[in-house]
């Protein structure tokens, strides 16, 4: 390992804001998850990565492998911008398909600044190990459908349906709004446009109205379309029949600092989601100086709730990193301080009467406000809120605090993500009011997935598998 690598590792491993239990890029900027997939007996997670600095730009695909979706091993960079290719200015978000158990194909958006249509669809091929990829220099799709005037044309998502491949792309039609286009093909290189799956949407974006990172899948007795826009992930729930999607409702999926969510099926056929946990805008310069930005959410299993919403629960293997039990089945009113970080709190309570729980630290403030039958039921954390609707009489919230990352899950299936900066507290003060004084609290330490905060290792391995470059500009 070089002196530069040693220095980089020292900076990252000593950063108290860098999470210890969440997946991270080795260094630099990380955003969208790309093509998560279970294939060949392994989980693969690709992600948008700038290896040069902790800011957006020069986007590659990073790659990591896991056996449990918690402990990860970084592999070499999967996809690069090609000097004379259709992706020469960036390898944007896409999908990965296991073709036959032997071959994997990545479909992704290439970015090129010197063409009228700056976003085109590209392809790369690998064996099922997905370590070495061959990127094709020419795009397989470089024209807008039916001559439409569009803004944005990106983020392919692909699946098999009735013996053929289906691909969706996020875009917007100028003057009309965001859309999700639908294509069909008998292979992964030749596609026929089949119209608009969803839209035009009335939602409006900041730069354009393109519906980013679309994903479409069955859930319970419905189909769900997920897309991202303006720092929000949306879920559209509806019916899908004869290749036509009929929306029934739309809602925010997840709340707070999460974007660009993508799903896949795990080894048991469960629908699992990863999302990009973003930094606060106010922290962009600080992130550049720290040498890293962005982290991945804990994996989540999706389900359709009894009242027809998209619910989430943390993937069960997260339990494997639970450490020492600090507090067991203790009423909140008898607890003043909670030591440690990273830490997992499970707070169980009855929902018959109103009450409130406050959890506070240096730059952390969590408020659970429950007032049954009235307005104002909500979960609040560092400026982010989530509803507390349709909770059963016996309810709970799980609070995961991992350095600057906070994930809160409710028993009704809502998830709130937030960030906490400043000094990471060595203890948290907890207060309770009303009926929630009787809430029962369990507290566990959470074990790091890497001993040095690099989050690069598979259970005990500490070697960094990627080349390290200077992060200072």
Among the four given CATH numbers 2.115.10.20, 3.40.1440.10, 3.40.190.10, 3.20.20.100, the one describing domain 23-297: 2.115.10.20
Q: Name the residue among 12, 18, 36 with its Cα closest to residue 275.
A: 36
Helix (H, G, I), strand (E, B) or coil at 333: helix
Contact 457, 451 (CB under 8 A): yes
Q: Name the residue among 52, 63, 113, 46 with its Cα closest to residue 86.
A: 113
List, in sequence order, every residue forming a beta bridge with 339; answer none if it has no partner: 427
Q: Which residues of the chain have pLDDT under 70?
A: 1-7, 340, 362, 372-377, 389-392, 424-425, 455-473
* 176-220 pLDDT tens trace: 999 999 999 999 999 999 999 999 998 987 777 899 999 999 999
- The CATH number that domain 322-446 falls under is 2.60.120.560
Q: Which helix (H) or strand (E) holds 284?
A: helix 284-290
The one catalytic residue in 6, 15, 32, 146 is: 32
Establish whether 68 is a catalytic residue. no
Place of tokens 């409130």: 356
Burial code (b: 16+ CB inside 10 Å, e: under 16) for 108-119 equals bbbbbeeeeebb
CA distance 86 to 318: 39
Residue 3, Cα to own-chain centre: how many angstroms?
Answer: 33
Other C-beta atoms closer than 10 Å to the C-beta of 374 total: 8
* 417-461 pLDDT tens trace: 998 887 766 778 888 888 888 899 999 999 999 877 776 543 333
Q: Where are the domains of the chain?
A: 23-297, 322-446
Place of tokens 């900027």: 29
Give the pLDDT score at 468.
34
Place of tokens 């500009």: 473
Please give the structure tokens belonging to residue 42.
């392994």
* 350-389 pLDDT tens trace: 877 778 888 887 677 788 887 765 545 678 888 788 877 6
């Amino acid at each position: 390992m070089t002196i530069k690598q040693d220095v980089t590792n020292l900076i990252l491993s000593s950063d108290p804001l860098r999470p210890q239990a969440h997946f991270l890029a080795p260094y630099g900027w990380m955003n969208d998850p790309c093509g998560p997939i279970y294939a060949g007996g392994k989980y693969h997670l690709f992600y948008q990565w700038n290896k040069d600095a902790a800011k957006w730009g020069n986007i590659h695909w990073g790659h990591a492998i896991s056996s449990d979706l918690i402990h990860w091993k970084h592999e070499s960079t999967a996809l690069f911008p090609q000097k004379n290719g259709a992706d020469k200015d960036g390898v944007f978000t896409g999908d990965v398909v296991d073709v036959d158990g032997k071959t994997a194909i990545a479909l992704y958006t290439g970015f090129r600044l010197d063409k009228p249509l700056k976003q085109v669809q590209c392809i790369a091929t690998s064996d099922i190990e997905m370590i070495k990829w061959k990127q094709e220099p020419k795009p397989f799709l470089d024209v807008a459908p039916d001559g439409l005037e569009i803004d944005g044309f990106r983020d392919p998502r692909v699946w098999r349906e009735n013996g053929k491949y289906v691909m969706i792309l996020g875009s917007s039609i100028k003057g009309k709004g965001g859309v999700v286009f639908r294509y069909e093909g008998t292979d992964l290189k030749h596609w026929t446009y089949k119209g608009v799956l969803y839209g035009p949407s009335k939602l409006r974006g900041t730069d354009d109205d393109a519906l980013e990172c679309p994903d479409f899948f069955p859930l319970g007795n419905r189909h769900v379309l997920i897309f991202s826009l303006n720092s929000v992930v949306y879920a559209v729930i509806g019916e899908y029949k004869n290749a036509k999607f009929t929306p029934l409702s739309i809602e925010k999926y997840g709340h707070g600092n999460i974007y660009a969510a993508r799903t896949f099926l795990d080894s048991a056929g469960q629908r699992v989601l990863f999302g990009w946990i973003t930094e606060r805008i106010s922290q962009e310069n600080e992130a550049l100086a720290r040498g890293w930005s962005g982290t991945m959410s804990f994996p989540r299993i999706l389900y359709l709730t009894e009242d027809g919403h998209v619910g989430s629960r943390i993937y069960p293997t997260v339990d494997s990193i639970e450490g020492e039990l600090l507090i067991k089945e203790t009423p909140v009113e008898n607890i003043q301080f909670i030591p440690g970080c990273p830490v997992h709190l499970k707070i169980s309570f009855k929902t018959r009467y109103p009450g409130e729980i406050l959890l506070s630290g240096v730059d952390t403030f969590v408020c659970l406000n429950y007032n049954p039958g009235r307005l104002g039921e909500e979960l609040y954390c560092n400026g982010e809120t989530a509803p507390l609707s349709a909770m059963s009489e016996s309810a709970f919230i799980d609070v995961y605090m991992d350095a600057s990352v906070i994930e809160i899950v409710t028993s009704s299936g809502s998830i709130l993500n937030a960030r906490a900066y400043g000094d990471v507290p060595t203890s948290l003060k907890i207060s309770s009011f009303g009926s929630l004084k009787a809430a029962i609290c369990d507290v566990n330490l959470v074990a790091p997935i890497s001993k040095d905060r690099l989050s690069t290792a598979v259970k005990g391995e500490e070697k960094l598998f990627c080349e390290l470059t200077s992060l200072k500009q």
